[in-house]
Structure 1
Amino acid sequence: MRTRQRSRLAVALVATGVLALSACTQVSPDDGDSDESMEGGEMVTGAGVTSDPCPDAVNADNGCIYLGVLSDLTEGPFAALAVPITDGQRAFWAQVNADGGIGGYDIDIDTYTRDTKYQAAEHSAQYQQIAGNIAGIAQSLGTVNTESVLPDMIERSLVTVPTSWWSGYAFEDYDDGIVMETGYSYCTEALVGLDWFAEANGSPTTVQAVGYPGDYGGDSAEGVQRWADLNGVTALEAIGTGPNQVVGNQDAVVAGVLAGSPDVVVLSVGPAETAEIVGKLAASGFQGRFLGSLPTWNPALLDSPAAPALTALYNHMSPYENWDGTSASIEAMKASLNGELPSNGGYIIGWAIGYPLKAALEAAADAGDLTPQGIAAVVDGLTVDFEGMLQPHTYGGDPQANANQAVNIGAPNAEVELGIETIEQFYTGPSFDQTDYSSACAASG
């Protein structure tokens, strides 16, 4: 299936002219050494792996594995989250290097970190600059952005960790098995989050989804609809919106929610939109409650005029432990900060998403093949232990059987660090296992 998928995608690339990478790649840091093939049982390496040490190497006798990062680091709508995500990744890989590296190699994510501004065209352009010089991609922010270069990623066998939580990543027909998602999908989040709400607060009569169109809001809205259908509840028509940079304000959302007056609104927007929607609805007398998807929260919201409304009406959902978690992973992450506090929970995400690619690199090194193809070959069936930060996950196999569906529920609390207090840890409910998870819940675009 992998060969058929690649052939089909290769034809599509030629037909559409999406990427012209052959003229755009840079020279690798150790060009004469980066495609070496050793015999006699020693390591086979390829693009992005050199025998020379990394810049500012922790282990001077180690070679270097270069990984790419494509993220929103300056002016896009998720920069406030993406910068600490990238900082968390940098700390994670620094710890790997401090522990000796992997298979005789340190890991470098800085050389090929690129700012995409959360724009698909910029994501593609930056990817083209680094694709021939890396062994994998440690972070690719945004589903549509990742899709813009996915065919070439597949052609190159570049294992990729996404910073988005679309349900399509669970299916090999979509990504040929090279995308290593972490946590649950937005669709699963809505299903399980509403199970928690019904158990904790009594079953709602009406529910409504509000979100960005496409993989984020669309996936979550489908989860809301599925939950309503399974539980005999009315799902009001989902309300689409966009970042305030695009739509100006959330007044249309506020009017739409007030018109239907649902018991629960599931939000799949950014933090600024979350504050505006919850604050304006509370000021208008809205009596319902809000469940916010993973990207909806920022502790700075507790310094906004919407803080009282958020504290009273909002609960946050996350596949990862919150800052008040007690796992070995949380403890190691906090130790990396030397007593400092990150700006938001993006640092947790950045630390967590390091585990899958670390596990793949370790497995590939054990197999003696650190080419991109060798790294991709170990993903199917690989079980990753996140040291308690989220539930273990096995890649490949039956997506429904292997799906992560454990939700951490948080409540805003200005007295706790990063502003979210965990009130339910790794909750699972009955609805996900009753739904058909044999394909993506919603389209990505």
Structure 2
Amino acid sequence: MVCARSDGRRLRAWLAGLVLLAAALGASGCGLLGGPANAETVPGVTSRPCPHAVNRNHGCIYLGTLSDLSTGPFSALGVLLTRAQRAFWERVNAEGGIGGYDVDAVTYVRDTGYVPSRHLAAYLEMKDRVLALAQTLGSSTTEEILGDLRTERMLAVPASFQSRWEFEDVILESGTSYCFHYMNAVDYAVRQGRVRRVMSVHFAGDYGADGAGGGRVAARAHRLAYRSVQTPQGPDRQAAAVRSILKFKPDVVLLSTGPAETAAIVGQAVAHGYKGRFFGDQTTWNVAVMKSPVATAMRDHYLMTATWKPFATDAPGYTAMRAALGAVVPDDTLTVGWSMQYPLKAVLERAAQNGWLTRQGLYTAMKETTFVDYEGMMPPAAGDFSGTPNASAFRETVFERPDPSRYTGLRVLTDYQAGATADGYRLDAPCSGVT
């Protein structure tokens, strides 16, 4: 039998290593805990060069980051997201910057530990010194600052993928929402074979509720039995969720948890005889699980619903990312961190071309953006921010499965695709409210 407590210790030890990485980056002057920059008339834009300017004759645009870099359930993801976005903007600066400015995405990086109150405090500390947020990790944490983002007309790139963001003008989201991923997951499972029961196992809050809403919509469309189970954070606190799975006997389980919780749930359920299939979005996965006791269970029973293809994919954006990152351990979270900066780059460039490099200028530029050049990392349809939520929402999923022979432990099963449920669904409200 696989022990969740043992798996948790292994994953927590691995996460601790990433915390040390974050500390080392900060100590080396890379700016994870950088000092203040001078605020001018336009918050986050200064005529003085950036602290580590590539172009010394340029002014500086400061971007903020609010992430989970140490103790929260998504710290393994937060460290890598932040590292990749730093490399993204370093490349932008090396290629000439934006409108006579370099971009600083390192001075205002703060660890908020996936705690809403810490997220708000860090945001208030930096908000008058940054033009926009290059990252705000988490659904509930971003909700904590959303009211002030609206008031300030400050754009923010979310490291979360709930359908709610389609309805927020200040949120510059990338990719497919949890809701549409899980509609596609149920459709995919139904095409693969007989499905009678679907269960969602999820954290509290909009992150979990959004995926559960999508699962409920798809189960209803296929006339399947459906059940939703809320579970707490912590790999050693998943026994009740596992019991629910074993009792209900779903053919498909949709997970909206962290990587450690996912490993515990899959490992324990399979050890107790569960034969069905788990689907998880990208926040449920970390390649480290393939070196843990649950590797076989993950390989045989887990599929990922992904917005991006793996790190080693052959496309211009992936090639540029690998070159900019240099010698790193391949990880698909780096792909996410890099690619979700493209919309912000596009909006900054448009605002600079408009001669309006302010928060209002960025807001206006975003509403004018119908195309984002992802350099082949996402389909063109993913970059339209000009329409209604229903028209602009990207609905496609790439299905992947664990494969230890691949660089990042995942093998692509399908190209981008949307099932009939997602294609036909009218997004008039966030999926977290679906009942």
Alignment partners' CA distance in 1, 2:101 and 2:38: 14
Which residue number in structure 1 is paired with residue 302 of structure 2?
Answer: 314
Deviation of the 1:381 alpha carbon: 3.6
2:66–2:123 contact (8 Å) kept in structure 1: yes
Q: Secondary structure at the match of 1:113?
A: strand
Deviation of the 1:433 alpha carbon: 2.5
> In the TM superposition, what whole-angstrom CA distance separates every residue of 1:232-288 from its partner, at most 9, and x where no partner exists?
2221x211102117xx42111111011111111111111111111111111111111
Alignment partners' CA distance in 1, 2:390 and 2:147: 25
Which residue number in structure 2 is paired with residue 149 of structure 1?
Answer: 145
Q: Secondary structure at the match of 2:335?
A: helix
Which residue number in structure 2 is paired with residue 368 of structure 1?
Answer: 355
Aligned length: 397
Say yes or no: does 1:198 pair with 2:190: yes
Deviation of the 1:92 alpha carbon: 0.3
1:189 counterpart (173, 181, 185)? 181
Deviation of the 1:329 alpha carbon: 1.0
Deviation of the 1:384 alpha carbon: 1.6
Which residue number in structure 1 is paired with residue 258 of structure 2?
Answer: 270
Say yes or no: does 1:131 pair with 2:127: yes
2:50–2:104 contact (8 Å) kept in structure 1: yes
Alignment partners' CA distance in 1, 2:298 and 2:188: 18
Alignment partners' CA distance in 2, 1:96 and 1:443: 39
Alignment partners' CA distance in 2, 1:61 and 1:330: 30
Length-normalised TM-score, structure 1: 0.86
1:184–1:403 contact (8 Å) kept in structure 2: yes
2:242–2:265 contact (8 Å) kept in structure 1: yes
Say yes or no: does 1:420 pair with 2:413: no
Which residue number in structure 1 is paired with residue 420 of structure 2?
Answer: 430
2:223 counterpart (202, 212, 232)? 232
Say yes or no: does 1:140 pair with 2:136: yes
Task: Using the TM superposition, name which of 104-113 and 331-340 deviates more.
Answer: 331-340
Which residue number in structure 2 is paired with residue 41 of structure 1?
Answer: none
Which residue number in structure 2 is paired with residue 354 of structure 1?
Answer: 341
Say yes or no: does 1:207 pair with 2:176: no
Aligned partner of 1:262: which letter? P
Which residue number in structure 1 is paired with residue 7 of structure 2?
Answer: none
Deviation of the 1:28 alpha carbon: 6.6
Q: Secondary structure at the match of 2:201?
A: strand
Give the share of equivalent positions with the same residue, in percent.
39
Aligned partner of 2:364: which letter? A
Tell me which structure has the larger Cα radius of gyration.
1
Q: Secondary structure at the match of 1:267?
A: strand
Aligned partner of 1:146: which letter? T
> In the TM superposition, what whole-angstrom CA distance separates every residue of 1:100-126 from its partner, at most 9, and x where no partner exists?
000010000111111111101000111
Which residue number in structure 2 is paired with residue 71 of structure 1?
Answer: 67
Deviation of the 1:195 alpha carbon: 1.8
Structure 2: which 5+ runs fail to align?
A: 1-34
Which residue number in structure 2 is paired with residue 18 of structure 1?
Answer: none
Aligned partner of 1:351: which letter? W
2:289 counterpart (297, 301, 304)? 301
2:140–2:207 contact (8 Å) kept in structure 1: no
Which residue number in structure 2 is paired with residue 21 of structure 1?
Answer: none
Mark the CA change 1:287 to 1:113 in structure 2 (over 3 Å): closer, same or farther. same
Task: Using the TM superposition, name which of 144-153 and 66-75 deviates more.
Answer: 144-153
Alignment partners' CA distance in 1, 2:397 and 2:127: 34
1:259 counterpart (247, 253, 259)? 247
Detail structure 1 runs of 4+ shifted over 3 Å in the superposition.
none
Task: Using the TM superposition, name which of 435-444 and 122-131 deviates more.
Answer: 435-444
Aligned partner of 1:217: which letter? G
Structure 1: which 5+ runs fail to align?
A: 1-26, 36-45
Which residue number in structure 2 is paired with residue 178 of structure 1?
Answer: 170
Q: Secondary structure at the match of 1:66?
A: strand
Q: Secondary structure at the match of 2:305?
A: strand
Which residue number in structure 2 is paired with residue 334 of structure 1?
Answer: 322
Alignment partners' CA distance in 1, 2:116 and 2:238: 24
Deviation of the 1:203 alpha carbon: 4.3
1:324–1:421 contact (8 Å) kept in structure 2: no
Length-normalised TM-score, structure 2: 0.88
Alignment partners' CA distance in 2, 1:253 and 1:264: 14
1:186–1:223 contact (8 Å) kept in structure 2: yes
Alignment partners' CA distance in 1, 2:388 and 2:123: 31
